[in-house]
Amino acid sequence: MSDNLQCGKHRACLVQLYRHLLISCRQSLHLELALAEHPTPCSWSEPAGGPEPGSCYVPGVTDTELVTRYYDLFNRGDWDGMCALLADDVAHDLNQGERQVGKPAFRAFLERMARSYREQLRDISVLGDGRGRAGAEYVVEGEYVATDEGLPAARGQRYTLPGGAFFEVRGGHIARVTNYYNLTDWLRQVGA
Amino acid sequence: MSDNLQCGKHRACLVQLYRHLLISCRQSLHLELALAEHPTPCSWSEPAGGPEPGSCYVPGVTDTELVTRYYDLFNRGDWDGMCALLADDVAHDLNQGERQVGKPAFRAFLERMARSYREQLRDISVLGDGRGRAGAEYVVEGEYVATDEGLPAARGQRYTLPGGAFFEVRGGHIARVTNYYNLTDWLRQVGA
């Protein structure tokens, strides 16, 4: 992240620098504290009406920190942890596909993905508006290991694919994930 | 935007509230000032090495304000204004398509779009990381007025389509726009 920190060089960016430092400090401090105090997967960010039953949110953790945690858990293959960040009625918009609703559908999706793809996300940029909307852009480094329904045959093809997602955060949980990537580009890379 | 402002109700959000107020005040103040002082289309945000030749950036205007301006100009059909916000070598990633590079290609794309589609974006959420990366999510209210190459015949079909984009800002200009929407959903709505 620091390689993109152009702020300190420029006179007009004190506010941005302040925000960057604030975010960095809070991320490292709060996430460390949270991991130490809440070893079980939990839901963070600021609930509008206080923490929901069964959640263990950490006060003061922002929506963008929640999204950062979501992708950290993805890269660790921690599906339980990811699902704990979701609202029960989470809406999940599949790339170029339909909307699925609810944690069980989300969990089934993660498991289907895990059977067919080995993926790590890198260069993750998390974006926010500080009011419950967030986004992320990243690059997927993947391997297509088992044929997915309706798609070309898998034979261990590797791919590098930019992607992004948009989020709504409600009551300290992720209430919507809308995923996007260039399916045409992916199909070309796996030799469809 | 204010209907999503849950912060004030909650004890743990002073920092977010502060950031929200800061962003809101700067948006309204700087954009008003900028519009009053720079009536011609111009490029904003913080250039890393000072303003580029020919640009008229306003110090202290953030990347998200630049993106807000981009969509405002889109909704006003001001293609000159939009192009003035772009870097000369802007990269434009078409939804499910290829990357086009350069302002002339971007301009040609806008003109092709204007022939086939009448669109207004609403519910625009602009997201940022304060370090040159931004995003936006919105809903397109559109009408398909003239057949676009390779797509179904136009007969004035109306559509409502969520979409989003990611941006890189460099030297006060938009250096990349990556657009996403659900093409499958659009095709369904125009009766393909």
Per-residue pLDDT tens for B39-56?
333 333 444 444 444 344
Q: Tell me the average pLDDT across B17-28.
A: 35
Query: Which distant-in-sequence residues (6+ apart) come within 8 Å of B45 by Cβ?
Result: B57, B61, B62, B63, B65, B66, B169, B172, B173
pLDDT band at B27 (very low <50, low <70, confident <90, very high): very low
Q: Please say whether the beta carbons of B139 and B122 come within 8 A.
A: yes
Show the tokens assigned to A13.
Answer: 């960016």
pTM: 0.72
Instruction: Give the pLDDT score at A192.
Output: 75
pLDDT exceeds cutoff 80 at B36: no
Binned at pLDDT 50, 70 and 90, residue B59 comes out as low
Among B45, B100, B131, the residue to mutate for chain A (most A Cβ within 10 A): B131
Task: Kindly indicate the confidence band of residue A41, based on its pLDDT and cuts at 50, 70 and 90.
Answer: very low
Q: Is the pLDDT of residue B111 over 90?
A: yes
Taking 50 as the threshold, does the pLDDT of residue B12 lie above it?
Answer: no
Q: Is the pLDDT of residue A64 over 50?
A: yes
- Given a cut of 90, whether residue A48 has pLDDT beyond it is no
Give which of A70, A125, A139, A69 is closest to B131, Cα–Cα.
Answer: A125
Shortest CA gap A67–chain B (Å): 13
For residue A7, the chain B residues in CB contact (below 8 A) are 130-131
Helix, strand, or coil (residue A149)? coil
Q: Do B127 and A133 touch (CB under 8 A)?
A: yes
Q: Does the pLDDT value for residue B8 go beyond 90?
A: no
pLDDT of residue B46: 40
Residue B138's alpha-carbon distances to A13, B120, B177, in angstroms, are: 28, 10, 15
> Mean of the per-residue pLDDT values for chain A?
77
Predicted local distance difference test score (pLDDT) of residue A59: 55
CA atoms within a 13 Å half-sphere pointing along the CA-CB vector of B69: 33
A109 or B45: which carries more pLDDT confidence?
Answer: A109
**A4 interaction partners in chain B (CB closer than 8 Å):** 131-133
- Which class for B106: exposed (0-12), middle (13-18), buried (19 or more C-beta within 10 A)? buried
> At which residue do the structure tokens 């990357």 appear?
B99
Contacts of B129 in chain A (CB under 8 A): 64, 125-128
Q: Is A6 close to B133, i.e. CB distance below 8 A?
A: no
Q: How far is B66 from chain A (nearest CA, A)?
A: 14
Sheet-wide strand order for A117-128: A99-101, A86-93, A173-181, A157-170, A133-144, A117-128, B117-128, B133-144, B157-170, B173-181, B86-93, B99-101
pLDDT score recorded for residue A60: 60
Residue with tokens 């990556």: B178
Lowest mean pLDDT among A37-51, A134-148, A155-169: A37-51
Q: How many CB pairs under 8 A join A and B?
A: 126
DSSP letter string, A23-85:
HHHHHHHHHHHHHHH--S----S--BTBPPTT----TT--HHHHHHHHHHHHHTT-HHHHHHT
- What is the amino acid identity at position A158? R
The upper half-sphere exposure of residue B34, i.e. CA atoms within 13 Å in the direction of its Cβ, equals 21
Select from A14, A19, A30 the residue whose CB has the most chain B CBs within 10 Å, as the one to mutate to test that interface.
A19
B72 neighbors B160 (Cβ within 8 angstroms): no
Count of residues for chain B? 192
Rounded Cα distance, A168 and A157, in Å: 33
Q: Can you tell me the ipTM of this complex?
A: 0.71
Nearest-CA neighbor of A185 among A155, A161, A158?
Answer: A161
B62 to chain A: closest CA residue? A16
Nearest CB to B48; choose among A10, A162, A180: A10
In percent, how much of chain B has pLDDT > 70?
68
Summarised one tens digit per residue, pLDDT across range A74-84 is 999 999 999 99
B126: closest chain A residue by CA: A129
The answer to whether the CB of B43 falls within 8 A of the CB of B55 is: yes
Task: Kindly report, residue by residue over B123-175, the tens digit of the pLDDT.
Answer: 999 999 999 999 999 999 999 999 999 999 999 999 999 999 999 999 999 99
A48·B9 Cβ contact <8 A: yes
For residue B78, pLDDT over 70 is answered with yes
* Nearest-CA distance A10 → chain B (Å): 7
